[in-house]
């Protein structure tokens, strides 16, 4: 299957209602006028498979031996990328506020790992997931996401590929112009607000 271009990816998000406009509190605690609800796109196995295959094509030269995703947002796309690459997919999850491997998942020393997310905003959860790889003795060969909503500004400290890059502004709550205008805020994310997130 040919790689999906950015316009096609964003069209899928808009068509499925996964690219939202409004006033949102992100899982990072930052506010934004745009929100990407990837679960709505990935609910369709055809879309998930297309996006996973395209993302796998972007990362094929990394020599990936294992895909690791942070729960919950990276689970489906991580699985689809792994399927396309012909490797296993596992996930990390939070326990006592720290990203960790559970459920019997392990990473053998020296394993070449690709960290896969749905959306990267600040890159914090991606770096936390990379730290899980390091702690297990694996080697992070790169990171990948469907969307880079930082407009290319996220610093992951590793090779990084994304199918689409968009620049949705984010603000601290105290500096949010939407708050200042009295626009009600919505928190549509999948985990409790923390000081830092993806």
The 3-state secondary structure of 10-72, one letter per residue:
HHHHHHCCCEEEEEEECCCCCEEEEEECHHHHHCCHHHHHHHHHHHHHHHHHHCCCEEEEECC
> Strand, coil or helix: what is 167?
strand
**Residue found under tokens 């805020």:** 185
Give residue 194's pLDDT: 35
| Within a domain: 163 | yes
**Residue found under tokens 């409004």:** 22
Give residue 3's pLDDT: 58
| Within a domain: 35 | yes
pLDDT, tens digit only, all 198 positions of the chain: 445 788 899 889 999 989 888 999 987 788 999 888 899 999 999 999 999 999 999 999 999 999 999 998 899 999 999 999 999 999 999 988 899 899 989 999 999 999 999 999 888 889 999 999 999 999 999 999 999 988 788 889 899 999 999 888 889 999 999 999 999 998 876 543 333 333
| Within a domain: 193 | no
Residue 73 belongs to a domain with what CATH number? 3.40.50.2020
Give residue 189's pLDDT: 61
Rounded to two decimals, what is the model's pTM?
0.84
Q: Is the peptide bond before 72 cis (omega within 30 degrees of 0)?
A: yes
| β-bridge pairing 170-171 and 31-36 | antiparallel
In angstroms, rounded to a whole number, what is the distance separating the alpha carbons of residues 46 and 6? 18
| Within a domain: 192 | no
| Within a domain: 196 | no
Range of the structural domain that residue 106 is part of: 6-180
| Within a domain: 137 | yes
| β-bridge pairing 66-70 and 88-95 | parallel
Give residue 196's pLDDT: 32
For 143, the enclosing helix (H) or strand (E) is strand 139-148
In angstroms, rounded to a whole number, what is the distance separating the alpha carbons of residues 46 and 80? 10
| Within a domain: 119 | yes
Domain count, the chain: 1
| Within a domain: 197 | no
């Amino acid at each position: 299957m040919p790689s999906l271009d950015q316009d096609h990816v964003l069209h899928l998000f808009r068509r499925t209602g996964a690219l939202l406009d409004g006033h949102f509190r992100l899982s990072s605690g930052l506010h934004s006028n745009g929100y990407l609800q990837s679960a709505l796109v990935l609910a369709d196995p055809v879309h998930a498979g297309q996006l996973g295959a395209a993302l796998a094509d972007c990362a094929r030269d990394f020599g990936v031996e294992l895909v690791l995703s942070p729960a919950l947002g990276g689970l489906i796309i991580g699985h689809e990328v792994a399927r396309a690459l012909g490797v296993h997919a596992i996930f990390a999850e939070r326990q006592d506020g720290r990203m960790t491997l559970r459920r019997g998942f392990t990473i053998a020393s020296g394993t070449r790992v690709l960290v896969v997310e749905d959306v990267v905003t600040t890159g914090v959860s991606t770096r936390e997931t990379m730290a899980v790889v390091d702690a297990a003795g694996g080697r992070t060969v790169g990171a990948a996401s469907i969307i880079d909503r930082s407009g290319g500004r996220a610093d992951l400290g590793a090779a990084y590929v994304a199918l689409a890059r968009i620049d949705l502004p984010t603000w601290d709550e105290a500096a949010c112009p939407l708050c200042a205008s009295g626009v009600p805020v919505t928190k549509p994310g999948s985990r409790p607000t923390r000081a830092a997130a993806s």
